[in-house]
Structure 1
């Protein structure tokens, strides 16, 4: 409901203000609305995790961000097509929206399955990660070529790979892939903001016919509509849903007013809006300039800047003032996950003990390791009395860190003496780093 309804509501509200107040033609006003309608969950998610906001709210913000991007960009495509082509039919647009989304999802599933099978048979980490980088393009290009939603195709393929990945991708590939994707995510977001910064002077110069006070007033008006529409949605639609759906499962999903206020204030705009604005064509099919393109770019940047600065900086204070915290729920969830995995490990060790190829001493060492881990985790979770498990674990970690440090120093010395190559030194040090990272388990 949020990923579709709120996106459409924001687009329409912004379009009305953009047309009536700013003077943008209806077609261009709807484009502006589509551009600024999707949220960027990155900033809000970082703040919420740092302040231990309940997982339910964090998941809601991040899940909304994933799907409202797709909805907004499908609507954006329809709106831009109407401007460029010069014609618009509501019935045709609605049918196109549904068909484009359905076709995009179908193509994404097919591409996801194909690339999952390819990666399943690709043991080399570098090659597998390269294939993962190409998956998005492989989903988007054919979907876009047939007129379907390329964004939904990419999202669907990504979700499919995310569900199957842990069972088909090796640990080495996953470890390396996390770092690659984190860096790429940062670089792509940074590049988008740099591009807007480079264009901003040209955009402002092209708007020299308007006074600074007029532009600031328009920017505040559009930004205000974006923020208020989201707040109004979160304080009206839940009550309508309650009237229409009185199932017990729906009542269990209800949020308190303070939770809805946090969700409503977490609607910062970011990379998707930037990319959509920068992708606006320069001219229509008839060769005329795209109506008010520079003004749309300026207002998009203003909305992104104002929401990131005002909402982003005030969100931590709002969360603290409302006293929203999961009170250790995230840590408890992680402990349950580790305990579940440890119990599964012990069950598998018992099954292995019956195999002829296993050695008794090996099985006993493995069982002792996981039994101790289970007791330590149970003590942390409060299920059993802490008989010094945590203190012993911390002492063990400290001792291992000292030993690993000595090994690193020895490797560096061997490299200085020319006994080993630089490549060998880094390969062994990487293994030591991985061993140290496992100490927190």
Structure 2
């Protein structure tokens, strides 16, 4: 029996790869294409139903996806826009959950306030992967991208906390707001504590104990699961544990990753992230017919009506709250007005319209228990909540995802902050690294540059920023000298790479450039070192 499920999963991964390649050709964001593709696959005659165990959804998908998002986030940029990120990450989730709770009670027969909170917690967090996939290559201000990415890290924790308390209230028929607030603070603080403690332990192991590069990548794959499981074991926030631990390990990664492990880890995590994200998005399309078939007590027209009304409400609430969180603090606080330039009216709309739902909403919906605590009574309105969630995801992904590029081009949002384009940052960093390399050569290899032309050409290559070919001696009786010079040439180039890495580390500490740009330069140094060492 297990080989049938394995064959189905492998077939879905293969279909996912084909759909991704097709989306690249059609220039459509791959999450949108995978959802539509999954829906089309589900209607193939004889296609078996893929039933996902709700208890495994969080454990399998969330930890690595959150860890990858945290790993690639810029701590400096997150801290710079912390006010906007926190107001959207926590405030938007809570307000959306409250609004959906009270609204759904009034339009859905038999719906309770606890069920409304549950639905609100599920559909409140937008998906960063979907948004950044759509925005890739678009002219969007850096502030907008940073807020969207940072918001997704925070709102996942907030929405899952609302989800957890709502489920507990439904299962126990008890909900005390004071106790919930205290439990939330305890869960958040202790979750961050667990994540940082485990991250420090792994950092110490990776830096001082692990000397085999083949072990480093597996440890980074284990890390998010370890953080999540330990925190959840004590009923604390596993999400915040993974996010905080991932941010710390990412910030200190240069201390324990060399060129080989960094390239290896980056490729592995890119593959893992794509497979998990892609599988969840294709699962959205696959599961929809199953959810429709399980609707009981509601006509299809009623279910669609409830879902579309709530979807519209979610979209409107987000846009309104994005504008409110942007301009109300500026009206109230003079310090904010003086420290932050006004983003104008266009950028908040883009941030609001980019609130596409995805992985976390699906994982939360599928993780709703099948029964109450007695193991006999079915969880009330479970399939309706699942159906509404799937419609919200579909509409926001497809409708907002396809129209977002149009709005960006139409509004022509301009960069409002003093921000140096990435291309200019790259050139500026290269110039700085080149100057340091030239000073290093003049100080340590002045004699060798005068003695050997090929060594002198290293300096010329750096000064011209071109790949000048090294001269060879060419004569048969000078082969030994050529070998010696080549060895010295390689030694100097490796020393210069090490020097430039030290300069990059200093730039990272001083926060003088974007982390994404510094990672790009670091990656090019890794490739250069790999070529030299293999050569």
Contact 1:282 1:289 in 2 (8 A): yes
Instruction: Report whether the alignment pairs 1:91 with 2:91.
Output: no
Distance 2:439 2:178 in 1: 58
Contact 1:3 1:64 in 2 (8 A): yes
Distance 2:210 2:448 in 1: 28
Contact 1:234 1:264 in 2 (8 A): yes
Contact 1:84 1:285 in 2 (8 A): yes
1:302 to 374, 391, 394: 391
Distance 2:443 2:125 in 1: 50
Instruction: Report whether the alignment pairs 1:164 with 2:230.
Output: no
Residue 430 of structure 1 corresponds to: none
Residue 216 of structure 1 corresponds to: 304
Report deviation, 1:18. Answer: 1.9
SS in 2 for 1:247: helix
Residue 91 of structure 2 corresponds to: 5
The root-mean-square deviation of aligned C-alpha atoms, in Å, is: 2.8
Instruction: Report whether the alignment pairs 1:188 with 2:280.
Output: no
Residue 76 of structure 1 corresponds to: 163
Report deviation, 1:209. Answer: 3.6
Instruction: Tell me which of the two structures has the higher relative contact order, counting C-alpha pairs closer than 8 angstroms and 6 or more residues apart.
Output: 2
Distance 2:214 2:327 in 1: 51
Report deviation, 1:174. Answer: 1.1
The TM-score normalised by the length of structure 1 is 0.80
Number of residue pairs matched by the alignment: 382
Counterparts of 1:209-288 in structure 2 under 5 Å? 209-247=297-335, 251-287=339-375, 288=377
Contact 1:125 1:172 in 2 (8 A): yes
Counterparts of 1:110-125 in structure 2 under 5 Å? 110-120=197-207, 121-125=209-213
Distance 2:255 2:434 in 1: 18
Report deviation, 1:300. Answer: 0.7
Q: Deviations over 1:224-281 (max 9, x none)?
A: 1111011101222323201322116754243110011111101001111111111111
Report deviation, 1:216. Answer: 1.6
Distance 2:338 2:373 in 1: 48
Contact 2:259 2:530 in 1 (8 A): no
Residue 424 of structure 2 corresponds to: 332
Residue 341 of structure 1 corresponds to: 433
Residue 21 of structure 1 corresponds to: 107
- Structure 2 vs 1, CA of residues 88 and 349 (structure 1 numbering), >3 Å: closer, same or farther? farther
SS in 2 for 1:147: coil
- Structure 2 vs 1, CA of residues 269 and 344 (structure 1 numbering), >3 Å: closer, same or farther? farther
- Structure 2 vs 1, CA of residues 67 and 357 (structure 1 numbering), >3 Å: closer, same or farther? farther
1:318 to 379, 389, 407: 407
Contact 2:356 2:400 in 1 (8 A): yes
Contact 2:357 2:396 in 1 (8 A): yes
- Structure 2 vs 1, CA of residues 294 and 325 (structure 1 numbering), >3 Å: closer, same or farther? same
Contact 1:51 1:325 in 2 (8 A): no
- Structure 2 vs 1, CA of residues 107 and 12 (structure 1 numbering), >3 Å: closer, same or farther? same
Residue 462 of structure 2 corresponds to: 370
- Structure 2 vs 1, CA of residues 263 and 31 (structure 1 numbering), >3 Å: closer, same or farther? same
Distance 1:360 1:75 in 2: 71
Distance 2:116 2:165 in 1: 13
Residue 106 of structure 1 corresponds to: 193
- Structure 2 vs 1, CA of residues 359 and 9 (structure 1 numbering), >3 Å: closer, same or farther? farther
Instruction: Report whether the alignment pairs 1:45 with 2:129.
Output: no
Distance 1:50 1:437 in 2: 29
Distance 1:352 1:280 in 2: 65
- Structure 2 vs 1, CA of residues 368 and 34 (structure 1 numbering), >3 Å: closer, same or farther? same
Contact 2:448 2:456 in 1 (8 A): no
Report deviation, 1:197. Answer: 3.8
- Structure 2 unaligned segments of length 5 or more: list them: 1-86, 470-525
Distance 1:261 1:333 in 2: 28
Distance 1:51 1:100 in 2: 38
Contact 1:52 1:328 in 2 (8 A): no
- Structure 2 vs 1, CA of residues 346 and 245 (structure 1 numbering), >3 Å: closer, same or farther? farther
- Structure 2 vs 1, CA of residues 74 and 340 (structure 1 numbering), >3 Å: closer, same or farther? farther
Contact 1:11 1:37 in 2 (8 A): yes
Distance 1:47 1:437 in 2: 33
Contact 1:25 1:291 in 2 (8 A): no
SS in 1 for 2:136: helix
- Structure 2 vs 1, CA of residues 205 and 333 (structure 1 numbering), >3 Å: closer, same or farther? same
Contact 1:108 1:152 in 2 (8 A): yes
Distance 1:125 1:314 in 2: 45
Q: Deviations over 1:265-306 (max 9, x none)?
A: 010011111111111111222333222111111111111100
Q: Deviations over 1:365-385 (max 9, x none)?
A: 443332222xxxxxxxxxxxx
- Structure 1 unaligned segments of length 5 or more: list them: 374-391, 398-432
